A and B are shown apart, each in its own frame.
Chain A
């Protein structure tokens, strides 16, 4: 378990001081696939490097299983990193790369050999053991980097955008591979990425970061279905933002008045949101054009776009604003709606999320 408490990092250089991390606190659980997600410059890599020990935090503590890491140099921390550039040693073979960490820990020769063989098998690189790292492909280098970092059996594996250099197909394969390695080894993974899809498909929990702060922590479904803030809603997936009036709130249930005047039962991030004007976020696939129970937003169909798996409907709302809906396609489905039709966007009870800002 890693407890990160109030960690700040302020870079001071020739220019103005830059706050890379602003009092970040998060607890990463045992055997968890934890993802730090955010745009470039949000501080996610800085946080990873603070855990690894390459960056000293300006303030705050990082405690791993009761041991404060902040004062320890990187080589005394029981965590290993998979670097974005892989950082394989070019003057060593694949097997020598994987053995490196074990040799630095002065493990007996027999144990080193055995573990290296296990790791080679784990990442399916046994036949490549004696190759130079320059003689293998990018995907294979990625596997070697993983095996090298896993070989000393660290308590935590840190992964710094490890898939960003791979092409699309390979990236998909490696996503599954990483999940498999994590469940087989039982090691806690802390994964840094700017790719929301990667984060949603692989993580047990996600911390969404922006401007040096963690904006929201939760499971992939939580983050996607119930974003707490405009930034999170906007960064992950597509979202419709509606200006509504918050009427009442009880627990996570809230009642809002839509621009059309209709009252809708929606979700709220907590009771601390004050009644009055707020922003409501609605995912395009959560709203419906086919009627049913719920609050209604009347409008005119402005555009219909066919995407293969689904169709996007762009609705010009009465009283201004545009709303995009997404509906999954069925085989040989007849297109019944045409541009210019009057339509009604329906929000079923529980659809829509009140945002904090």
Chain B
């Protein structure tokens, strides 16, 4: 090994790193532990029990919020991914064009603009439409989620496209493949891991959203995260821990799947 500057050997590096991990993960570990608490407190351990998982499972509000969360996340994932694929193709396959950087920035805008700004803007905008049309269904939430999920779906798809050998598509075109058939027979089969990764990321991001949902939702349209937020204002029981732990489990599974999909090459 060359003896260059090694950050890992600097005094205090290990301590700071450990501190960061502890601060990051200890609360989550505690949250998971107390989801199994037999008592009603989120801080005093009274023994092991599945009680709060059963309570959450039978809670009709939780059931409704879960279904709503899944419906919104599913639709938002579908719409965002369907928008992200052509966007990724247009920004990787057409060469550089005038305004390329501008378009790229526009696609990724939701990552930069403070979420609260988007939330307030959507609140006002949708309020106008609600007044004009009288429609107050889930559609607003689905559209709002789709919009901020696009960059998350876009990134892995674009990365996959950039990693692909351009000569494959040229070869397909050379062998009499029209652009659409080249896409379907050569580009798409190789793009799938990227599309799945992008969709999963979008799904997790939608499932997790609080700020925009809180502003956009109409009465009785709580998703799981906004329902939990509402509960915290009243009595805090380990039921919230149980729901969080379930959400955490879903996210971990999806993130692990995402990791394998985006890592695997050929």
The residue in chain A whose Cβ has the minimal distance to the Cβ of B188 is A91
The residue in chain B whose Cβ has the minimal distance to the Cβ of A80 is B174
Partner of B172, one of A52, A100, A149, A152: A100
A16 CA to B20 CA in the complex, in Å? 51
A52 CA to B186 CA in the complex, in Å? 19
Contact with B along A86-130 (1 / 0, CB 8 A): 011111000000001100110000000000000000000000000
A44 contacts partner chain B, Cβ-Cβ < 8 Å: no
- Most interface-central of B165, B171, B178, B190 (chain A CB within 10 A): B171
Contact A75 B174 (CB under 8 A): yes
Interface residues on B, range: 20 to 34
Known pairs A100-B185, A101-B175, A101-B176; A83 contacts B190 (CB<8 A)? no
A349 contacts partner chain B, Cβ-Cβ < 8 Å: no
B189 contacts partner chain A, Cβ-Cβ < 8 Å: yes
Partner of A81, one of B168, B174, B179, B182: B174
Contact A74 B185 (CB under 8 A): no
Contact B165 A87 (CB under 8 A): yes
Chain A hits for B185, CB < 8 A = 100
- Most interface-central of A73, A101, A134 (chain B CB within 10 A): A101
Interface residues on A, range: 20 to 34
Contact B175 A83 (CB under 8 A): no
B56 contacts partner chain A, Cβ-Cβ < 8 Å: no
Taking CB atoms and an 8 Å cut-off, the chain A residues in 36-89 that contact chain B are 52-54, 73-76, 79-81, 83, 85, 87-89
Contact B177 A104 (CB under 8 A): yes
Chain B hits for A89, CB < 8 A = 168, 171-172, 186
Known pairs A83-B167, A85-B167, A104-B181; A91 contacts B175 (CB<8 A)? no
> In the assembled complex, how far is the CB of residue B71 from the closest CB belonging to chain A, in whole angstroms?
34
The residue in chain B whose Cβ has the minimal distance to the Cβ of A85 is B167
A105 CA to B177 CA in the complex, in Å? 8
A226 contacts partner chain B, Cβ-Cβ < 8 Å: no
Contact A91 B170 (CB under 8 A): no
Contact B170 A74 (CB under 8 A): yes
Contact A152 B186 (CB under 8 A): no
Partner of B175, one of A54, A85, A152: A152
A149 CA to B181 CA in the complex, in Å? 18
Partner of A91, one of B174, B178, B190: B190
B173 contacts partner chain A, Cβ-Cβ < 8 Å: yes
Partner of A148, one of B175, B178, B179, B181: B175
Chain A hits for B165, CB < 8 A = 85, 87
> In the assembled complex, how far is the CB of residue B157 from the closest CB belonging to chain A, in whole angstroms?
17
Chain A hits for B177, CB < 8 A = 75, 100, 104
- Most interface-central of B176, B189, B266 (chain A CB within 10 A): B176
Contact B171 A73 (CB under 8 A): no
A222 CA to B109 CA in the complex, in Å? 63
A149 CA to B175 CA in the complex, in Å? 7
Partner of A90, one of B173, B179, B190: B190
Contact B167 A73 (CB under 8 A): no
The residue in chain B whose Cβ has the minimal distance to the Cβ of A160 is B167
Contact A152 B170 (CB under 8 A): no
Known pairs A85-B167, A87-B167, A89-B186; A80 contacts B266 (CB<8 A)? no
Sample 16 A-B pairs with CB under 8 A, ordered by A number: A74-B170, A75-B174, A75-B176, A76-B176, A83-B167, A85-B165, A85-B167, A87-B168, A87-B170, A89-B168, A89-B172, A89-B186, A104-B172, A104-B176, A105-B176, A149-B174
Q: Which residues of A contact B (CB under 8 A)?
A: 52-54, 73-76, 79-81, 83, 85, 87-91, 100-101, 104-105, 134, 148-149, 152
Apart from the given pairs A74-B174, A75-B173, 11 other A-B contacts in the complex at a CB distance below 8 Å = A54-B170, A73-B173, A81-B170, A85-B167, A87-B168, A87-B171, A89-B168, A89-B172, A104-B175, A148-B175, A152-B176
Q: Which residues of B contact A (CB under 8 A)?
A: 165, 167-168, 170-179, 181-182, 185-186, 189-190, 266
10 nearest interchain CB pairs?
Answer: A101-B175, A87-B171, A104-B176, A87-B167, A74-B173, A91-B189, A104-B177, A81-B174, A75-B176, A75-B173
